[in-house]
Structure 1
Amino acid sequence: MAASLVISDLQINALVSFFVWPFARILGLMLSEPIFSSRSIPRRFKGGFALILTVLVAPLLPPMPAVPLVSAEGVAILLNQLLIGIMLGFVMRIVMTAMEMAGMIASAQMGLGFAMFFDPQHSASVPALSRVLSMFVTLLYLALNGPQIVLSVLIDSFNTLPVGQALPTDSLQALAVWGGHIFSWGLWLSLPVVAALLVTNLAIGVMTRAAPQFNIFAFGFPLTLMIGFIALYLVVPLMVPAIETIYQQSFGLMRSLLQAAPVAAP
């Protein structure tokens, strides 16, 4: 008589939770990380990539908690894993937004605030200069193997903060402090262009004062536009080391964000 295969509810729950909880953390990263969350990537590809990555990573993870998936505690663990993935991806999103802030400040000083460009990433109109700088920082992010490092940090996070452990209370505070750098970094990166245009505007003011018949509207706008582009052309190569440093700080924050005492954002 052939023996029948009997699978209990506990075994089914353990098998499903073995993949669902890691999948939630990986999917959270896919929803917030700048490259993987791009609207140009089809959703089926994102979901399929997250599923394949879960199947490859799940056998290497620490044991899952013995908690029923369909329960209040199981749903809480699921939401916690989703929040962890979103937090990790949001760290890199803040860096991209800081560069866009620098473009907004520079374009406003150059008189290009009216030159808007539709950004499919945010589904909104942004200054054209912000879009250009955003593409520049994205290419630099790819050149530094940013997506590979982010995936490596994500996989290591399952050992740093296994599934079932609560998120450190200081993590959200550290992420909020990190988000505050959007404005400081945006001003810092655009400061050379702003300083050059400030000197230009002062020179135009002196010329207007010395010669009242001087037509500031016919001469001032082309001059500020030209000086702004020249300053931007000279400054962009110098931004590379600064942005690389910011990216290295981002990777370090991602690694420390899930520890018991996360390191404060620099």
Structure 2
Amino acid sequence: MVDFLPAFPAFLLIFVRVTSFFLMMPLFSYRSIPTPVKIGLGFFMAMIMVFTIDTPLMEVDSLYFLLILKEALVGLMIGFIAYLILSAIQIAGGFIDFQMGFAIANVIDPQTGAQSPLMGQYLYTISLFFLLMVNGHHLLLDGVFYSYQFIPLEQAWVPFGSENMAEYVIKVFNSMFIIAFQMAIPVVGSLFLVDIALGIIARTVPQLNVFVVGLPIKIGVSFIVIIAVMSILLMAVSQLFETMLGAMRGLMEIIGGT
């Protein structure tokens, strides 16, 4: 068993990466979780990891402070990629709200404190429950644990300004919008057909005020379609989790230079 005192510099580096990962990672970064709980979870995870991964004996010198900064940036970037992928759910809800007529009515997300669309918050809450049900939070913790296989502690240089990393982040950002559009297209496509039908009715029956009748019809059709395609949406969310883990792995490979 490794003596803890010589391994303390490595423990501090692991602690910085894990806690900075918790600052951006979905589910663990919410403000409803008290800050002492986050710090304590990061502390005990670092205590476990310092004795399970291959930690070199390090000295506190000028390079060590650069390593602390590198660990914080690595944790933030990995957590940001995971959060970016899961944001596709709220963007899909925003697309649906815009067609339903709910775009003007936002709600305050109690987890982040920011405004979010109604359907986006609804789908995001269901997705988080689904993430917990399939033990996806364990996979997120595995992601930060196995990150040391790609980005070792003693690696001081991180290619944040490289072309490959910028291209990869843009590709992930693009895939987020594509996934959001694919999740929202059943409801948005149905509402587009409803708009066409209301337009035909407005031309054929001018006495009918479609602006009064159209909004409740679109809301009713939206809920019916959402109930009908909820299983497909959950299937898309499960594939979204796989995409999130793959995006985290790809970013770690680029940072580690593998």
Deviates more, 1:173-182 or 1:77-86: 173-182
Residues 1:232 and 2:232 aligned together: no
Q: Secondary structure at the match of 2:146?
A: helix
Distance 1:61 1:109, change over 3 A: same
State the TM-score, normalizing by the size of structure 1: 0.86
CA contact (8 A) 1:256 1:262 kept: no
Q: Secondary structure at the match of 1:99?
A: helix
CA contact (8 A) 2:30 2:111 kept: yes
Greater relative contact order (CA < 8 Å, ≥ 6 in sequence): 2
Deviates more, 1:191-200 or 1:134-143: 134-143
Report the alpha carbon displacement of residue 102 of structure 1 after superposing the two structures with TM: 0.5
Residues 1:144 and 2:138 aligned together: no
Aligned counterparts, 1:48-197, within 5 A: 48-64=40-56, 66-69=58-61, 71=62, 73-165=63-155, 166-168=157-159, 169=162, 170-197=164-191
Larger radius of gyration: 1
CA contact (8 A) 2:67 2:153 kept: yes
Distance 1:125 1:249, change over 3 A: closer
Cα distance in 2 for residues equivalent to 1:160 and 1:262: 5
Cα distance in 2 for residues equivalent to 1:207 and 1:65: 76
**Percent sequence identity over aligned pairs:** 25
CA contact (8 A) 1:100 1:130 kept: yes
The one-letter amino acid paired with 2:175 is H
String of CA shifts for 1:40-93, please: whole Å, max 9, x gaps.
100000001100111111022223364425x2x222211111121122222221
CA contact (8 A) 2:13 2:71 kept: yes
Report the alpha carbon displacement of residue 232 of structure 1 after superposing the two structures with TM: 1.3
State the TM-score, normalizing by the size of structure 2: 0.89
Distance 1:161 1:262, change over 3 A: closer
Stretches of structure 2 that go unaligned for 5 or more consecutive residues are none
Match of residue 5 from structure 1: none
Q: Secondary structure at the match of 2:229?
A: helix
The one-letter amino acid paired with 1:136 is I
Residues 1:198 and 2:201 aligned together: no
Report the alpha carbon displacement of residue 262 of structure 1 after superposing the two structures with TM: 8.2
Match of residue 214 from structure 1: 208
Stretches of structure 1 that go unaligned for 5 or more consecutive residues are 1-10
CA contact (8 A) 1:157 1:258 kept: yes
Cα distance in 1 for residues equivalent to 2:58 and 2:167: 30
Distance 1:164 1:262, change over 3 A: closer
How big is the alpha-carbon RMSD for the aligned residues of Structure 1 and Structure 2?
2.2
How many aligned residue pairs are there? 250
